[in-house]
Structure 1
Amino acid sequence: MATTTDPRAGANSAARPPERSPAKGPNTAFRELRGQRSPGEFAAAVRRAAREIGEQVACDARYVGRVEAGEIRCPNYAYERVFRHMFPGLTLADMGFSSREAVRGRGARAGCGATPASAAHQQHPAPPCGTIHHEEDRNDEESDVLRRAFMTGGSATLAAVSLGLLPEYAGAAPQDRVHQSVRRVGEAEVGAVEEAVRRIRLLDDRHGANGLYRRAAQPLRTAYALLDAGTARRSTAERLHAGAGELAISVGWLAHDSGHYEEARSHYAEALATARLAGDPALEAHAFCNMSFLARDAGRPREALRAAQAGGRAARRLGSPRLLALLGLREAGGWAGLGDRGACEQSLARAHTLFARGPAERDPEWMTFFVEAELEMLEAQCWSALGDWSRAASHAHRAACLQDPHFARNLALYRAELADDLARAGSPTESAAAGHQVLDLLPEVQSTRIQAMLADTARILAPHANCPEVRTFLERRASV
């Protein structure tokens, strides 16, 4: 159906929504524009539309939810350009937003305690090319500092700057820095933790984990120091627990993808402990999902199976068939590692049935990566573990064909899986061709896991070095 795949579908032909007087409260006009798409699907459509016009925005389901709840009364300039591209002919008022002047005029800034620096920033709204844009918070200057900190990672790193702490405390330990500069944690600090999670995921999708892992550890320490500092409101505390736990999982994934398995295991365990302390089943399911993935990669299939099943028990309360499908695939991976083909096939069938139910309102925002391409990739890995190389290659090929080319890390991963499966299936020439496609992506993707997969493929192809295509691949990989 067109409205679920094309971010601009129906924009020209649909009846222009009635003009509304923008006011505080839910943005019903924007909710109508989303239509039948889930917040996660709509966020993906926003990101695709941004790429069409050369913008980059870190839109996710939470951002869409904030807009629809009326928390974001006017989008920043980057989002405005994207929304106008998606819905040509509509004004901000048509989309349910307040005017920029009403939200960020002189009176609004005076009421928020704006400084001359923030006013100067507002005079030059267009950000530099290549910057990732996020919604403008009440303090635009702080948001801009956060973005720059994430891109540059200066001496204060992300901990002191992006989490709203003063730079003069950058030399102190995270706990000291928090207690000296923040008496009570509020919206700004919690928002910065949530922003750190989004930022890490976005950069990982684009470039892989190796260049991010060490830089991401500092904001994680600060996030847990913020937890120790305490919050004034229970709702803020719940968001901070969830944000810190998700940040621990994100950093754990960076360690995982960089080959630091024990460090990854520690971060995932930290996230799980945070989930249980906070009574957060969504965070618990996410932690178990990643723990299962790590255990499978580390050669502990029974642990992978148990973690996936535990994640499934936590996820049953959440009303997300897609999450249950992903955990079913993790369980299938555990059964495949144990060599139980029948149990693996049962888990795969259950996962396909759940996936076919489609997205739901309660799908976690971190699951935006779980599209059909990822489903095919995870199934390919199951057949690979069972030694059915031809079947694995078929699914890996489909995953690579379905993957959005903008997500270079996943595309490189899927093609690396394809190259390995083809090599083991006795198709050295086709394997070398897929291997070349992975090498084409390595300048922008840094992933120890992908490099290790290519090394295994090269080892398998070495006896076929008399084939010109294979020899060229082996020589090229050796030189990288």
Structure 2
Amino acid sequence: MASSTETSSQPGRPARPNLAFRQARGPRSPAEFAALVRRAAREIGEQVSCDARYIGRVEAGEIRCPNYAYERVFLHMFPDRTLTDLGFAPRSSVRGRPARPPGRPAAPGTDETPGPYEPYDIQNPHDDVKDPPTPHTPYVPYGTYESHEESDVLRRAFMTGGGATVAAALAPLGLGPLGLVQDAAAADRAPRPGTSEAAAVEEAVRRIRLLDDRHGADGLYRRAAAPLRTAYALLDAGATRRATADRLHSGAGELAVSVGWLAHDSGRFDDARSHYAEALATARMTGDDALEAHAFCNTASLARDAGRPREAVRAAQAAQRIARPLGSAYLMSLLALREAAGWAGLADRTACEQALTRAKALFERGPSEADPEWMTFYGDAELAGLEAQCWSTLGEWPRAARHTRRAVVLQHPHFARNTALYTAQLADDLARAGRPDEAAAAGLRVLGLMEQVQSSRIHTMLAGTARVLQPHRRASGVPEFLERHTELPHLA
């Protein structure tokens, strides 16, 4: 599947062949030209998953204007030409918004840092954001690999390998769901994905979430790339039935969100942003509002942690617009908390409190059958923990500590990672509230959990707490915490 961030023809508009681009390709085959595109991308530090199929779509007029990554590559390859010279339509006519001037920085007056990918860049009927998209690097939907040529080989193997290949790809995570075709001859007779492959992708999502709940993201992220590659290769192969195709799209999108979360929690923010963007693109291609709301929800959380509070607010608000018709009060409650976190980052206490009030009122309506499957983690503990984060951001440490302590007490033992996260947050809140002895005790409890849980996010929080406690070495428990913290293995 080529990068989903390209802009294809608008619905109802007949595709017009791009003869200028075909002429630029010259005597080379589409595959040969795709290899040149990938090589040119590497020359300027870009990564694009360009293949013969993508070139064919451009020449057929299906892609009326490339995304910004491909734009930079094409202009590098043909420095004496413009996108119009290459047969592409002006970006404003495709996206319905003005084109971004080359090199334009993020909008002035914001406290955000520009990221590698702007998730609002894809045309979104639900989003009324008027800001132009920020520069970004492209998304590589199949994880990190040595070369694009190798990736092409892997993708062809996935597309022709049937269920046996799916099982092998899921094996690194212990994801060998039942119902997959194990026999090579049977796989040859049924090379296109069916219900068993769709079920395998859905099961992969569940297993990854389960492992993350118990152990955290570090060490899991790299291994999760194989099921994600498989899921998108299955989409490329094409299902025979529409219902199966819809399940595959939804499953692949949820898998992209899950892998994005693993990247997020392990400190790989650029990777996480790209995975969430891919999930958004997948959702929009099929009109999957539930998936789109989930992707925006995680994008808001990432934006908060990455120091882009305004983006966190915008993403959370977009998610709420999309999720409102879905009928889940719990989902709307969580999204209101995401918005509150963004307002806290912008130091807007009034807006933060309004969002928190809305979140708690929605939560009081209780669970329902409309709640998404992925929201199993959301309960009293998460509500308290996310509210505590808002008060921490606003600098109200004693108030934050009260809510965080409640989150630790209420957390179900199954969610070992969240227990460690909330306890680390409690340690930091207590340290900043001027209670170093209690902070050290909480920090020691976290260190005891780190043999079971691997999370760069928690490591970062503990490091911050250790810095705050350095001047309080005479307080009870602080020397022991600082000493044990220095012995904590560094996560790669």
Q: Same fold (TM over 0.5)?
A: yes
The answer for the alignment partner of 2:414 in structure 1 is 406
User: Which amino acid is the alignment partner of residue 292 of structure 1?
Assistant: A
Residue equivalent to 2:394: 386
**8 A contact 2:177–2:203 mirrored in 1:** no
Is 1:434 paired with 2:442? yes
- 1:289 pairs, out of 294, 297, 316, with 297
Partner of 2:347, secondary structure, is coil
* Alignment partner, residue 375 of structure 2: 367
Task: Map residues 119-134 of structure 1 onto 2, 5 A cutoff.
Answer: none
1:227 matched to 2:246: no
Measure, in 2, the Cα distance between the counterparts of 1:185 and 1:206: 31
Q: What does the per-residue CA deviation read over 1:38-86, in whole Å, with 9 as the maximum and x for residues that have no partner?
A: xxxxxxxxxxxxxxxxxxxxxxxxxxxxxxxxxxxxxxxxxxxxxxxxx
TM-score (norm 1): 0.65
Aligned equivalents of 1:394, 1:236: Cα separation in 2: 48
Do structure 1's residue 153 and structure 2's residue 153 form an aligned pair? no
Q: Which amino acid aligns with 1:331?
A: E
Q: Is the 8 A contact 2:246 2:286 kept in 1?
A: yes
Aligned equivalent of 2:343: 335
Alignment length, in residue pairs? 325
The residue that corresponds to 2:214 in the other structure is 206
Mapped to 2, the partners of 1:182 and 1:189 lie a distance apart of 11
- d(CA) in 2 for partners of 1:182, 1:413: 45
Post-superposition shift, 1:163?
Answer: 9.7
CA distance in 1: counterparts of 2:178 and 2:236, whole angstroms: 18
Unaligned runs of 5+ in 1: 1-141, 170-178
Aligned AA (1:411):
T
Matched-pair contact (CA < 8 Å) for 2:177–2:200: no
| CA positional deviation for 1:221 | 1.0
1:197 aligned to 2:205? yes
Distance 2:335 2:425 in 1: 20
Please, what is the CA RMSD of the aligned residues? 2.5
Shift of 1:317: 1.2
Counterparts of 1:355 and 1:402, CA distance in 2:
15
% same residue? 66
For 1:279, the equivalent position in structure 2 comes to: 287
Answer whether contact 2:329 2:362 (CA < 8 A) is retained. yes
Q: Deviation of residue 360 (structure 1)?
A: 1.0
- Per-residue deviation at 1:181? 8.1
Q: In structure 2, what is the Cα distance between the partners aligned to 1:181 and 1:259?
A: 43
Please tell me the residue identity of whatever aligns with 2:207. Answer: R
Residues 411-450 of structure 1, C-alpha deviations (whole Å, 9 max, x = no match): 0000000000000000000000000110110000000000
Matches within 5 A, 1:316-327: 316-327=324-335
Question: 1: distance between equivalents of 2:314 and 2:413?
Answer: 34
SS at match of 2:462: helix
Query: Aligned residue for 2:272?
Result: 264
Query: Using the alignment, how far apart are the partners of 2:226 and 2:461 within structure 1?
Result: 29
Report if the CA contact (8 A) 1:272-1:288 is conserved. Answer: yes
Q: Report the secondary structure of 1:394's partner residue.
A: helix
Which amino acid is 2:464 matched to? D
Residue among 428, 432, 450 paired with 1:424: 432
Q: Using a 3 Å threshold, how does the CA distance of structure 1 residues 362 and 423 change in structure 2: closer, same or farther?
A: same
> How far, CA to CA, are the matches of 1:209 and 1:166 in structure 2?
30
Once residues 431 and 471 of structure 2 are traced to their aligned partners in structure 1, the CA distance between those partners, rounded to angstroms, is: 11
Contact (CA 8 Å) 1:161, 1:167: kept in 2 or not?
no
Counterpart secondary structure, 1:153: helix
1:149/1:161 contact within 8 Å kept: no
Structure 2: gaps (5+ residues): 1-162
The equivalent of 1:241 in structure 2 is: 249
Q: Distance in 2 between matches of 1:242 and 1:270?
A: 12
CA contact (8 A) 1:163 1:219 kept: no
Aligned to 2:308: 300
Q: Which whole-Å CA distance do the structure 2 matches of 1:181 and 1:342 have between them?
A: 62
Residue aligned with 2:400, SS: helix
User: Could you tell me how far 1:184 is from its partner in structure 2?
Assistant: 1.9
Structure 1 324/383 Cα, relative in aligned 2: closer, same or farther at 3 Å?
same
Q: Does 1:472 align with 2:480?
A: yes
| Partner residue of 2:263 out of 255, 260, 264 | 255
Residue of structure 1 aligned with 2:192, choices 184, 188, 191? 184
| In structure 2, distance between residues paired with 1:286 and 1:199 | 18
**Structure 1 Cα separation of the partners of residues 179 and 346 of structure 2:** 43
Residues 163 and 193 in structure 1, CA contact (< 8 A), matched pair in contact too: no
TM-score by length of 2: 0.63
**1:153 is aligned with what amino acid?**
P
Q: Distance in 2 between matches of 1:435 and 1:335?
A: 28
| Contact 1:419 1:430 (8 Å CA) reproduced | yes
